[in-house]
Amino acid sequence: MKLRHVDCFAHCTFHRYVCVSGHLSNQKAELALFLLSRIRSMFYHAYNSYLDHAFPYDELRPLTCDGQDTWGRHLLTEILGISIVDVLVQVLGNRTEFQRVASLLQDTVDFDIDVNASVFETNIRVVGGLLSAHLLSGRAGMELEPGWPCSGPLLRMAEDAAKKLLPAFETPSGMPYGTVNLLRGVNPSETPVTCTAGVGTFILEFASLSRLTGNQTYEDLARKALLALWETRSNIGLVGNHIDVVTQKWVAQDAGIGAGVDSYFEYLVKGSILLQDPSLLHMFHEYDRVIQNYTRFDDWYLWVQMHKGTVSMPVFQSLEAFWPGLQSLIGDLESAVRTFQNYYSVWRQFGGLPEFYSIPQGFTVDKREGYPLRPELIESAMYLYRATGDHLYLQLGLDALESIEKISRTPCGYASVKDLRDHQLDNRMESFFLAETIKYLYLLFDPTHFLHGGGAWEEGGGTTGRCVLGTGGYIFNTEAHPIDAAALYCCHRHDADQSEIRNILLASPSASSTGQSQSGSSSQSQSSMLRCPVQPFSSKLSVKGQVFTENN
């Protein structure tokens, strides 16, 4: 199937909208509104198809217009509701449906069930989704209890879910088991082997939970797991793919940036931004240095043996497509752009990204030809467009929109692509299509959206009685759930910073004996002692979505 290539950077037309000489014409705003309307329609077609044909089963089967349980006992039904509830207010502005789903979750979700659940998936989908929904409750027009955003029913649900995961962290190393029974804890026969991402993908959700609730347990556990994983690096500085959390021995020793590892690196960067923690960014830079040295080849990233650095798999995995977006967050735009071009060339070849792509052969890998409508390349396009303003990334968004509509749309939703070589479909619609793919696609074409910054607003609550929210930018977890950094500050650091300022001023001799001008100069001389100086760490991290430190 030959997809129409919409080129808005030469002379062309697209649905009546004229693009001239590399720039959108004066109908750019109308075109953007048209595309956003199409993306909203895509969401509702998928969402309503699930409600009409699959609920209360876990997953929609879009070819047969029915549902199936994939997690058991309709567990994913609850997770799906949690995963998409923030989309309803972020992407669609549908406050009524947001309020309905949020109220339904509060009335029906019960985590005291005898089900074995992935610790990793439950954290990023359930804990992350509930935290995001909680922090968006104000914008959604829900009735807020006193003390919000430091309290609230959705926040308590997030903490209830996180508590169910805590038994998994009871290991000699502090690295968690991969699976936990939500009612009984860790099964005595549970394997101690889990993937790297399953150890290192907790700091965003757990630290947010700690800083919103005041219970430090969650952040401490996430940090202990991160530090334990950091200590297991090989002599050349790489980590493998699967580790025994009891013995701390590597079981799978392939090192790369894709499946099984990806979100570990992602959380080091995003955790450093959200928590204002340079130590996490230092860890990432150390990894990035050896990744560039051992795994990078012609702006592709290969898999190598973690101890020797020799190539073990010369393949590109679709999950690796998050990497250019992550590079843009640390300001490495030149490398990010080149790698994105490689990945985009694969998309243009097939109309999607195959799960595995052989770099030497330039084709799909046997039995890995599918495309389950993953979001990662669209996510990178969103970040890179924010960082550069290059319309190339809008072009990817147009291609993705056209590909998904032409290849995957069915009367009952959107089907995963079983084989990109002939566009044969699979009878499955993954939940991340609703929770992530459509969300990033929408945000790519909506540059004024409040999640991109500039949407500060004030709300009563917090430790001070007032919280100014949205000022520190939003950090997306690996399931695309946004977390408001300003809310964490309001609930965690504000009182401590104010007390520190008062102590510094009171300790200043000029504060007690001289005028206002002398007091002001004294406080300036002491500014380096403050945790929030005039130019805080955050201001160096938030320019066009890039991280800027003292050295760059």
Assess whether 97 carries a catalytic annotation: no
Q: Are 488 and 461 in contact (CB under 8 A)?
A: no
Is 464 annotated in a binding site? The answer is no
Two structure tokens written together for 167: 């038994």
Q: Alpha-carbon distance 203 to 245, whole Å? A: 17
Two structure tokens written together for 295: 């795994």
Is residue 289 packed enough to be buried (19+ CB in 10 Å), middle (13-18) or exposed (0-12)?
exposed
Instruction: Give 508-545 as a DSSP string.
Output: -HHHHHS-HHHHHHHHHHTGGG-SS-SS-GGGGT-BTT
How many distinct helices (H) and strands (E) make up the chain? 21, 26
SS3 134: helix
Pairing relationship of beta strands 242-244 and 250-252 according to DSSP bridges: antiparallel
Q: Are 329 and 273 in contact (CB under 8 A)?
A: yes
Percentages helix, strand, coil for the chain (3-state, rounded to 5) are 50, 15, 35
- Active site residue: 121, 160, 220, 244, which one? 121
Among 242, 154, 157, 239, CA closest to 198: 242
Q: Alpha-carbon distance 479 to 123, whole Å? A: 10
Q: ω into residue 149 within 30 of 0, thus cis? A: yes
Q: How many other C-beta atoms are found inside a 10 Å radius of the C-beta of residue 3?
A: 16
- The CA-based angle 130-133-137, given to 5 degrees, is 140
Strand partners, 474: 484
Cite the DSSP H helix spans in 312-423: 323-329, 333-350, 376-388, 392-403
Two structure tokens written together for 289: 């240095």
- Active site residue: 78, 159, 254, 262, which one? 262
Assess whether 231 carries a catalytic annotation: no
Is residue 84 packed enough to be buried (19+ CB in 10 Å), middle (13-18) or exposed (0-12)?
buried
Q: For residue 58, give the amino acid letter.
A: D
Q: For residue 208, give the amino acid letter.
A: S
- Active site residue: 376, 399, 479, 484, which one? 376
DSSP-derived letter for residue 433 is I
Two structure tokens written together for 309: 């650095």
Q: Alpha-carbon distance 458 to 470, whole Å? A: 9
Assess whether 320 carries a catalytic annotation: no
Assess whether 355 carries a catalytic annotation: yes
DSSP-derived letter for residue 404 is I
Active centre residues (catalytic): 121, 262, 355, 376
Q: Annotated binding residues for Ca(2+), as ranges? A: 478
Q: Annotated binding residues, as ranges? A: 478
